[in-house]
Amino acid sequence: MSKLSKARDYVLQNKDKVNNEYRLNYHVMAEIGWINDPNGFVYYNGEYHLFYQYYPYDSAWGPMHWGHVKSKDLVKWECLPVALAPDMYYDADGCFSGSAIEKDGKLYLMYTGHTNPDVDNPENIRQIQNIAVSEDGIEFKKVKHNPVISTRDLPENALPQDFRDPKVFKRGEEYYVVIGSRHQEGDGQLLLYKSKDLLNWAYVGVLARSENNIGKMWECPDLFQMGEHDVLVISPQFLERDGDKYCNLYSSVYILGNCDFKNCKFDFNTIDEIDSGFDFYAPQTLVDNKGRRILIAWMQMWERNVPTHDKGHKWAGAMTLPRELKIFKGKLYQYPVEEMKNYRANHVSYKAVIVKGTLALEKIEGQSIELELEIDSLKANKFGLKVLKDEENQTVMYYDRQEGKFIFDRSNSGEILRGSESEDIKDVRRVKVSLLENKLKLRIFIDRISVEVFIQEGERVITSTVYPKSTAKAIEFFSDEKILIKTLNKWDIRVKEEV
């Protein structure tokens, strides 16, 4: 049996063995096993396809396969057979991250083949780029040309051990790909290649380089145009913390600037964190048939424990909500995709609610919900809400006027989550954001073990996993002085049909 057939068969035979205690309702998950980076996010033949790094046999990272789901609306996803398995000499130890593009009606996947012949000597690792093609978007065949970009195509001073995550796109009549690389001095850089047929690639140059100012190795690059801006998205490893920014071991940032393809140069003027929460990495984008630029990311973080693995639940990892991107006043804004509204149910609404101290409102509760609220802070200094609350658990978020920051605290959210962060940020994230005419607007999506908070209409976002008990459904508002909740809407999000 081939490695691909073996993986597909394993999923079919074992997917019913997972423990469902912490399973999400409206986010992408694998049926069983471990997932990380989104790959091959593409609109193809009238549907959205999303691939992802996948190890079906354990709830921990292992030799990478590509898992696969598709959707007509970015909310309701259908699990498809495993798309790629590490079964060739050039990808023997993993089909690492990559991207997808349509050409002549066929779907092309471009991915990194990872080989590690001597696990005790990382110097022998090699990473090279390969292509797999599909006529139907489900069954993929690796091309005979592989590898299409090998270590021979690297420039001088680029390490062959770190050369991964190709993001392919078309500009004019030519195809381009940006690939993450590490310079021999240890800092990250992006290499640019071009092609007319996706199979024969020519090296163009170093598009951008960290020079040790923006972290180390640059993973999962994405490059696209939005209006007058060229937008570069990267996930730099070991980006140095800057106050409240870049608090995770690995960060994800966007850079606005101008890309000169002819001279292979990216001049940038803005760099910022994409998401200010605990669990967001390796984002990738697509453009759909409506012209929307949509982003999705891995909703987890490296070097942090995952309770579903700790407890032997046989699965780990999920993706964020897909988000539409827009640029407003030189900043990247994120909005939950409009299709989420189609799955709202059991609407509960309040207007002009005064809060001083604490307040719970009837029918404002749940673990698979959307909240939309606008608060006039009046003269309050600290005000916010607690969600996923019971006698033991609570996830707290609030605005501190004195600090001018929105603060997210998961110190009592349920199962203990620990990474490598310093003590002051191990359970708390802070993001600077201003009140608008004294008001705070929030859209909050809760899905069993995830909380995504869109602040001030998408100016900032905080994404975090939490692991409360199934009883933790209450919501409580609080304030140190009187506040006015001008509007409050709550919906259940219902994707699965009720039996």
Please state, in angstroms and as integers, the Cα–Cα distance from residue 453 to each residue in 225, 320, 396, following that order.
Answer: 26, 11, 12
Residue 280 burial class via C-beta count within 10 angstroms: exposed 0-12, middle 13-18, buried 19 and up: buried
Neighbours of 452 (CB within 10 A): 25
In a domain, 258, yes or no: yes
Distance CA 140, CA 2 (A): 14
Burial letters 20-52, b for 16+ CB under 10 A, else e: eebbbbbbbbbbbbbbbbbbbbbbbeeebbbbb
Q: What is the pLDDT of residues 386-431, one digit of tens each?
A: 999 999 999 999 999 999 999 999 999 999 998 878 888 999 999 9
In a domain, 409, yes or no: yes
Task: Give the chain's residues under pLDDT 70.
Answer: 497-499
Distance CA 44, CA 51 (A): 13
Note whether 180 and 164 are within 8 A (CB): yes
**317 and 362 co-located in one domain:** no
Of 304, 319, 339, the domain-final residue: 339
Pairing outcome for strands 450-455 and 439-447: antiparallel
* Residues near 408 by beta carbon (within 8 Å), at least 6 away in sequence: 276, 277, 395, 396, 397, 428, 429, 430, 451, 453, 462, 464
Distance CA 124, CA 315 (A): 31
> Across the strands, what pairs with 195?
175, 201
Q: What is the predicted pLDDT for the residue at 189?
A: 97
> Across the strands, what pairs with 489?
349, 372
> Across the strands, what pairs with 114?
127
**330 and 348 co-located in one domain:** no
Q: Catalogue the active-site residues.
A: 37
Note whether 169 and 176 are within 8 A (CB): yes
**360 and 486 co-located in one domain:** yes
> Across the strands, what pairs with 446?
369, 451
**154 and 233 co-located in one domain:** yes
Q: What is the predicted pLDDT for the residue at 420?
A: 77
Say which amino acid occupies 430: R
Residues 412/417/421/423 CA torsion (nearest 10 deg):
30
**282 and 323 co-located in one domain:** yes
Residues 35/38/42/45 CA torsion (nearest 10 deg):
10
Count of domains in the chain?
2
Which two structure tokens, joined as six digits, stand for 77? 């996803």
3-class secondary-structure state, position 11: helix
Distance CA 273, CA 331 (A): 11
Q: How many residues does the chain have?
A: 499
Provide the domain limits for residue 173: 3-339
* Pick from 322, 323, 320, 326: nearest CA to 301: 320
> E strand or H helix at 193, and its extent?
strand 188-195
Neighbours of 129 (CB within 10 A): 26
* Pick from 287, 295, 292: nearest CA to 235: 295
Helices and strands in the chain, H and E counts: 2, 31
**45 and 175 co-located in one domain:** yes
**397 and 321 co-located in one domain:** no
Give the domain CATH number at 52. 2.115.10.20
Q: What is the predicted pLDDT for the residue at 351?
A: 98
3-class secondary-structure state, position 226: strand
**301 and 392 co-located in one domain:** no
3-class secondary-structure state, position 466: coil
**71 and 216 co-located in one domain:** yes
Q: What is the pLDDT of residues 260-282, one digit of tens each?
A: 999 999 999 899 999 999 999 99
Give the domain CATH number at 433. 2.60.120.560
In a domain, 499, yes or no: no
HSE, side-chain direction, 13 A CA sphere, residue 335: 12
* Residues near 442 by beta carbon (within 8 Å), at least 6 away in sequence: 371, 372, 373, 374, 375, 453, 454, 455
